[in-house]
Amino acid sequence: MGFEFWMFLSLVYVSHFHFHGLSLAEKAPYYSFVHEAAMAPEVSFYDYIIIGGGTAGCPLAATLSESANVLVLERGGSPYENPTKPDKGNFFPNLLDVSPSSYAQEFTSEDGVYNARARVLGGGSVINAGFYSHAEPEFLKQAGLNEALVNYSYQWVEKKIAFEPPMLQWQSALRDGLLEAGVLPNNGFTFDHIYGTKIGGTIFDGDDHRHTAADLLEYANPYRIKVYLHATVEKIIFETKVFSRTRAQGVVFEDELGKKHWALLTKDYKSEVILSAGALGSPQLLMLSGIGPSQQLKKFGIKVVKDQPMVGQGLVDNPLNVLLVPSPSPVELSLVSFVGITRFGSYIEACSGISFTPSWSRSVAKALAAILNQTEQSSTKLFQEGILNPESLLDTRIRGGIIFEKVKDPISSGYLELRNMNPRDNPKVTFNYFQAPEDLMKCVHGVKIAIDAVYSKSFSNFRYEILSAKALLELIVNLPLNQRPRHLTSAFSLEKFCMDTVMTIWHYHGGCRLGKVVDRDYKVLGVEALRIVDGSTFTSSPGTNPQATVMMLGRYMGLKILQERYFGKYRKK
């Protein structure tokens, strides 16, 4: 890496400590620079306008604010208004919350799979299972990222929000079960992406309190940043001149009261609009702004700024299938603490002792009681109680755990289309799960490994002997996990089980892919002063959970953008 860049990095440090000292910045949630969008002036000017205060947008904004004036427009609210709401015990209730103020905006893909899109400062890091793990080296190489700057950026994130999770009895037993099932070796605790079984990081501290990308705004220079909440960007404004390339000028956004505001770039030619709205929001906003497939834009009467047929294409979601395993022994509350990384392309993770919403609790309990009623030994006291009073099997928290199987790097891909011209509405999304036979085979193999782990000696204290593997599959088949039809053989055929019960793990990516919509500097092809920094640019989902890499990318690109602003285009030496 060139001497110029490291000199620039030292200037960032000097600026950072000049404003913050060793205590960094004021502690969340007392950010002086975060306001409701209704407080924004009608017209304002900034060096950088970031659309989306999510997993990438927060670290990006904090970094850019060290040396430039930055605006962040977040369509959701603050995770600090109710400090305990994002914590570990509320994981599923937050995802299943359908209220207008929910952190997660629900949608159902055209495949009939329920999904959710983050709508809060901090983005997906506020509603996910908290697992923190680095990308595999192949991902970084394919993206052309500098290894030294990647490592520095990861560490910058980790100082604030990454922890080593506790490995209590249920999680430890399942990990050992995976080792028995052949997911080797045991790599212990590491952030690195390594084949075998490993304990990864977590964004939950020892008190089960969640730390999110929004916490990274503590690094920001409070005098050079504005964050507006409930600010819905309607479109990006462009300047078009004869014999020159189209250039982004700013954005139009609407506050929670319906009033419009204009945020414009300063006259400095290095100023930029940066999309960090995610794999759904970024391609959607490009299209609403006139960049996308011209035929689709004309259908909605949108003026075509640039015909770009690849916007919205190459959208991929990693298929998820699960086993729900009731336990005769008490279990701890845990989200993802470890992962089994197989060599055939499947990841296996788990959680235990979680809470559902009341309606989901009833669905799970009744389905479980129905399965238990079919067993020869269903007259035992526990099962009789469960059949008469299904909710007792949950006891407010599920007495057992959920084991996840995720397909790595699916070949099957889909696309995103506009549903209407309302930026608040979710677009139409099709993922085409298991369109490629290779993806289905990975799922089948992964579910087999998960079943082997459940029936291992190590896990024997946390399963009922009378519950067969078929009964566990049948339980999932009978739950309302999606809107897809069920085959009669779903509990007998793992191929049918995978297709019928597929879910999302919320790791979808693509839609503005690197090399198709953006270049290696994440600049939108054919347009000036417009970049995209988020998972929509990814060609695969990094590591076992993308959040660490998305946050790293925000810091990484913030540093590169500032270096380019003050020293010219970054050069390797």
Q: How far apart, in whole angstroms, are the C-alpha atoms of residue 531 and residue 274?
A: 5
The active-site residue, picked from 134, 211, 230, 507, is 507
- Tokens 């009922």 locate to 464
- Is the CB of residue 163 less than 8 Å from the CB of residue 133? no
Residue 547 is assigned to a ligand binding site: yes
75 marked as part of a ligand binding site: yes
Phi, psi for residue 45 in degrees, rounded to 5? -130, 140
Of the chain, the end-to-end C-alpha distance in Å amounts to: 6
Quick one: 520 exposed, middle or buried, by C-beta within 10 A (0-12, 13-18, 19+)? exposed
In what helix (H) or strand (E) does residue 430 lie, and over which residues does it extend? strand 428-430
Distance CA 263, CA 236 (A): 10
Angle between helices 358-373 and 381-388 (to 10 degrees): 130
Q: Is 507 annotated as a binding residue?
A: yes
535 is in an annotated binding site: yes
Q: Which residues in 266-377 belong to E strands, given as ranges?
A: 272-275, 291-292, 306-307, 313-315, 319-326, 338-341, 346-352
Residue 255's Cα: distance from chain center in Å?
25
| Helix 547-567 × helix 147-161 angle, to 10° | 120
For residue 485, count CB atoms less than 10 angstroms from its CB and return exposed for 0-12, middle for 13-18, buried for 19 or more.
exposed
CA distance 66 to 219: 9
Residue with token string 């009033």:
259
- CA–CA separation, 191 and 541 (whole Å): 16
317 touches 433 (CB < 8 A): yes
Please state, in angstroms and rounded to a whole number, the distance separating the CA atoms of residues 123 and 57: 9
Helices (H), 110-219: 137-143, 147-161, 169-180
**Cα gap 476→488, rounded to integer Å:** 13
**How far apart (Å, rounded) are the C-alpha atoms in residues 305 and 289?**
8
Please write down the HEC assignment for all residues of 301-326.
CCCCCEECCCCCEEEECCEEEEEEEE
Helix (H) or strand (E) holding 470: helix 469-477
Compute the distance between CA of residue 356 and CA of residue 312 in angstroms, rounded to an integer.
Answer: 33
- Cα 480 vs. chain centroid, distance in angstroms? 23
507 flagged as catalytic: yes
Binding residues: 74-75, 120, 233, 506-507, 535, 546-547
Binding residues for FAD: 74-75, 120, 233, 506-507, 535, 546-547
Catalytic residues: 507
